[in-house]
Amino acid sequence: MPLIELDAAGVAVATPDGDRVLLEPTTLTLTEHRVAVVGANGSGKSTLARMLNGLVAPTTGAVRVDGLDVAKQGSAVRRKVAFSFTDPAAQLVMPTCVEDIELSLRRRERRAGRRRELALAVLERYGLVDKADVSVHSLSGGQRQLLALAGVLATDPDVLVADEPTTLLDLANTRRVGDLLLGLEQQLVLVTHDLDLARRCDRVLVVEDARVVHDGAADAAVAAYEASVLG
Amino acid sequence: MSGAVTVGVYRPGETLLHRLPVGVKLAALALFSLSVVLVRSMPASWVWLGLALLAALVARTDLATLLRAARMILVLALVVSAFQWWIDGPAKAVETLVDLLALALAAIVLSSTTSVNAMLDAIVRWVGPLRRVGVDPERVALTFSMAIGALPGTVTLALETRDAARARGLGGHPRAYVTPFVVRVVARAHETGDALHARGLGDD
């Protein structure tokens, strides 16, 4: 598994009323296969997740993936760390499904014919091959999230950071996407409100008021989170 | 999700026009467009329209796609033609209308027989020599694809915003609709930028 290190990494933004802290300086080492991040809306979960591949740069401290600094070696880090968003509509940029996968493969495969074959193989793996030439706008929400995940996984990353991948999905699709994510060989950092999904991870971080307040084995951490909310 | 633009026009197939290299097709379209614009005569206009229809036939472009494209251009063409009728008389107006239709049909035939990725590969090849003066061909191609992809996304946002305004009983006033629409388009642009960034596109 890759080694993700947060070294007193924190994020603050300047506002007219003074600095607002999105994430207090946090020190963590993530080596587990599946790490879940849970917590309330606006607690800093997404900021934490976005720092892992440089979408948000830490304003203090540093974040390193396998020794690569996300702020200074961003492009090398992003080749290792893929990121998926809650709303797949924002990350599907090409008109048809196969073309969106091909876009991910452009860097790896220059020959157009071979690239298409690879893209179709990716769609096959995610059960979307019959949608290859269909417009991405005509897919259902579940299919769209699957396609978005297929798109980021097509580049063969070492780590996948998924920001609430099941929040917009129905029960069947939540289960389908959840099983897919937890079955990955890659290291997974999963930000989620789905506590069943979190319980299936190897380690859970609970984020509250811009800091990690609990960090440990899944069942204990989820129980602590539930207790903090329900009182 | 509705309307003409939200659905991709490209239809895979094995016809002669599908198999022609992108460069040949684009050059042919450029030549065709130039001829349509330069040759000013009524009989010629009908020939252009005939040629465009022939191309659609060869490409087996389905009727629905053609009609959609024709309907979109027809609104514009009618306005322009009405104007021409007023300035130059009916003959000129009909010529303009037929010419515009021929151009639109020819363009739709190209789009329906050429996938966006094939177009991008061609652009990367053509822009390639400019690499020496600091142009990144992949980035140019990505810009084109983003522009193409932004259209259906923006139409969807417009429809959603309109529905949201209606649901709150604000349907009638443009301000209730335009401001949130612009805000959402900008927000979507930021999200898409993040997504591209996350996928490492445009990094090198």
Q: Residues B156-178: pLDDT tens digits? A: 788 888 888 877 777 667 777 78
What is the model's pLDDT at position B2? 37
One domain for residues B28 and B107 = yes
Mean per-residue pLDDT for B129-146?
79
Q: Which of B114, B136, B151 is the last residue of a domain?
A: B114
CA distance B74 to B101: 7
Whether B143 and B92 map to the same domain: the answer is no
B192 touches chain A (CB under 8 A): yes
Structure tokens at B72: 């979109």
Q: In chain A, which stretches have pLDDT less than 70?
A: none
Report if residue B62 sits inside a domain: yes
Residue A27 sits at φ, ψ, to 5 deg, of -120, 120
Q: What sections of chain B are H helices per DSSP?
A: 16-19, 22-38, 42-58, 63-88, 90-113, 116-127, 137-167, 174-198
pLDDT band, very low/low/confident/very high, at B202 (cuts 50, 70, 90): low
B103 and B79 inside one domain: yes
pLDDT number for residue A137 = 79
Tokens, residue B83: 């104007």
Check whether B204 has a pLDDT greater than 70: no
Say which residues have a Cβ less than 8 Å from residue A93's Cβ, sequence separation at least 6.
Answer: A100, A103, B145, B146, B149, B192, B195, B196
Confidence of residue B7 (pLDDT cuts 50, 70, 90): very low
| B136 in the same domain as B76 | no
Q: CB-based contacts of B69: which residues, under 8 Å, 6+ apart?
A: B4, B9, B104, B105, B107, B108
User: Domain end: B91, B114, B137, which one?
Assistant: B114
Please list, in sequence order, all residues whose beta carbon lies within 8 angstroms of the beta carbon of residue A5, skipping any fewer than 6 positions away. Answer: A28, A29, A30, A63, A64, A65
What would you report as the CA-atom Rg of chain A, rounded to the nearest whole angstrom?
A: 18
pLDDT for the residue A31: 94
State pLDDT tens for residues B10-62.
Answer: 777 888 888 888 888 988 999 999 999 888 888 899 999 999 999 988 888 88
Q: What is the pLDDT of residue B171?
A: 64
B42-58 vs B22-38: helix crossing angle, rounded to 10: 160
Number of structural domains found in chain B:
2
Q: What is the pTM of this model?
A: 0.73
Task: Please indicate whether, in this complex, the C-beta atoms of B116 and A152 are within 8 angstroms of each other.
Answer: no
Which chain B residue has its CA at the smallest distance from A148's CA?
Answer: B195
Same domain, B21 and B103: yes
Domain made up of A4-230: CATH architecture: 3-Layer(aba) Sandwich (3.40)
Taking the mean position of all CA atoms in its chain, how far away is CA A12? 21
Specify the length of chain A in residues: 231
> Would you call A137 and B201 a contact, using CB atoms and an 8 Å cutoff?
no
User: Could you report the predicted ipTM of this complex, rounded to two decimals?
Assistant: 0.72
Tell me whether residue B161 is in a domain.
yes
**B66 vs B103, residue with greater confidence:** B103
Residue B108 and residue B139 share a domain: no
Helix (H) or strand (E) holding A10, with range, is strand A4-15
Chain A residues with CB-CB distance to B under 8 A? 53-55, 74-75, 78-79, 82-85, 87, 89-91, 93-96, 99, 102-104, 106-107, 112, 115-116, 133, 135, 137-138, 151-152, 155
* Residue B121 included in any domain: no
Contact predicate A63/A6, CB 8 Å: yes
What mean pLDDT is predicted for residues B123-132? 82
List CB contacts (< 8 A) between A88 and chain B.
none
> What average pLDDT does chain B have?
81
**Does residue B5 lie in a domain region?**
no
Find the farthest-apart pair of alpha carbons in chain A and give their distance in angstroms, rounded.
59
Which residue has better confidence, B201 or B19?
B19
pLDDT > 90 fraction of chain B, expressed in percent and rounded: 8
Mean pLDDT over B136-148 rounds to 77
pLDDT per residue over B77-86, tens digit each?
A: 888 888 888 8
| Nearest-by-Cβ selection for B117 from A83, A112, A152 | A112
d(CA A67, CA B11): 46
- Residue A177 makes CB contacts below 8 A (sequence gap 6+) with A142, A145, A146, A149, A165, A166, A169
Residue B149 confidence (pLDDT) above 80? no
Whether residue B3 is predicted with pLDDT greater than 60 in this model: the reply is no
What is the C-alpha R_g of chain B?
20
How do residues A124-176 score in pLDDT, each as one tens digit?
998 899 998 888 878 888 899 999 999 999 988 999 999 999 988 889 989 99
Domain limits, chain A: 4-230
Residues B92, B136 within the same domain: no
Range of the domain at B63: 16-114
Is residue A62 within a helix (H) or strand (E), and if so which, with residue range? strand A60-65
Q: Are residues B104 and B21 in the same domain?
A: yes
Using CA atoms, how far apart are residues B187 and A129, in angstroms rounded to an integer? 31
pLDDT at B31: 92
Q: What is the pLDDT of residue B117?
A: 74
CA dihedral B79, B83, B88, B91 (to 10 degrees): 20
Which pLDDT belongs to residue B84? 86
